[in-house]
Amino acid sequence: MSDDKFFNENTLTTVQALWDNLSYPKSEDHAPELLKEEEEILEFYKGWARCLNQEFNNDSESGKPFYEIDQVVTFDLFGFTGRGDFKEHFEKTFPYFSNATVDFKDLELFATSKTSGYSTMVQRLRGKSKDGKAFQMIYRVTGLLSKKNGRWQWVHEHVSFPVNMATKEADFTSSIDPKAAFHF
C-alpha cells in the first residue's frame, strides 16, 4: 500500500476531505443532519492519532480515555476481549506497542444518532516494540463509538488481517487480492 492515502493527526482535516480521499465511493448512508457528530468523531480520531504518535510512548495510560473501559468488547489481533476484561488487556498489550506511529487510510465515519456512530478504515501501525523489535502492520478496523457526557469513546473494536485461505497465512500488509485469496 502506498503512503499517499494514509493520514495522521496533522493531515486529517474534515469529513468532506475523508470522503474525497476514499479509494471507493462514499457510502449513501451518511445523514446530513448528523454531519456535526461525524465531525466530532473525526476530532476523536485526530485525538487518538495524536495520543499514539506523540504521548503514548511516555504515558500509555493516556490511551485509556478513548475507550469506555468497563463496557468495551474487542476482537483484535490477539483475540477476543469481553466486557469487563479490557482494562487488563490494555495494560498488558498496549504498552508493548507504545513506540509506534499510527495513520489511517479510507477512514469513513458514520454518526447513526447524536450519541452513537461507527468507523471503517485501514490502519497502519509501525515502530519498535517494547523489546526493541521493528514492526509494521496494516490491518482493517471497524470501531463502534458511544457519546456520553459529551465524550466519544469506543465500545467495540474489530481489528483483522486478510487471510490467504490456501496457505492459511495472515497478510500483515493487507494487500492481498480478495478474489485470489478465498480458495482453499
For 135-155, what is the mean pLDDT? 97
For the chain, which residues make up each domain, given as ranges? 15-59+67-170
Three cell numbers at 102? Answer: 499510527
User: Are 173 and 86 contacting, i.e. CB atoms less than 8 angstroms apart?
Assistant: no
d(CA 139, CA 157): 12
Give the span between the Cα atoms of 35 and 136, in whole angstroms. 33
Give the mean model confidence (pLDDT) for residues 40-52. 97
User: Residues 155, 94, 59, 4: is their CA dihedral positive or negative?
Assistant: negative
- Lowest mean pLDDT, pick from 113-117, 132-136, 164-168: 164-168
Q: What does the block give as the cell for 95? A: 504498552
Confidence (pLDDT) at 46? 98
Burial 144-168 (b: 16+ CB within 10 A, else e): bbbbeeeebbbbbbebebbeeeeee
Cell of 159: 481489528
Average pLDDT estimate for 102-119: 98
Which own/partner contact pairs does 151-156 have at CB distance under 8 Å and 24+ positions apart?
151/65, 152/40, 152/41, 152/44, 152/117, 153/65, 153/66, 153/67, 153/68, 153/72, 154/66, 154/67, 154/68, 154/72, 155/68, 155/71, 155/72, 155/73, 156/72, 156/73, 156/74
- Report residue 35 as a C-alpha cell: 454531519
Predicted pLDDT of residue 3: 56
Residue 37, pLDDT > 80, answer yes
CATH architecture of the region 15-59+67-170: Roll (3.10)
Cα–Cα distance for residue pair 145/117, rounded to 1 Å? 5
Compute, in degrees rounded to 10, the torsion defined by CA atoms 61, 135, 44, 28: -150
Quote the DSSP letter at residue 26. P
- Tell me how crowded residue 128 is: count the other CB atoms within 10 A of its CB: 14
Query: Mean pLDDT in the chain?
Result: 93
Among 41-45, 98-102, 155-159, the range scoring the smallest mean pLDDT is 98-102
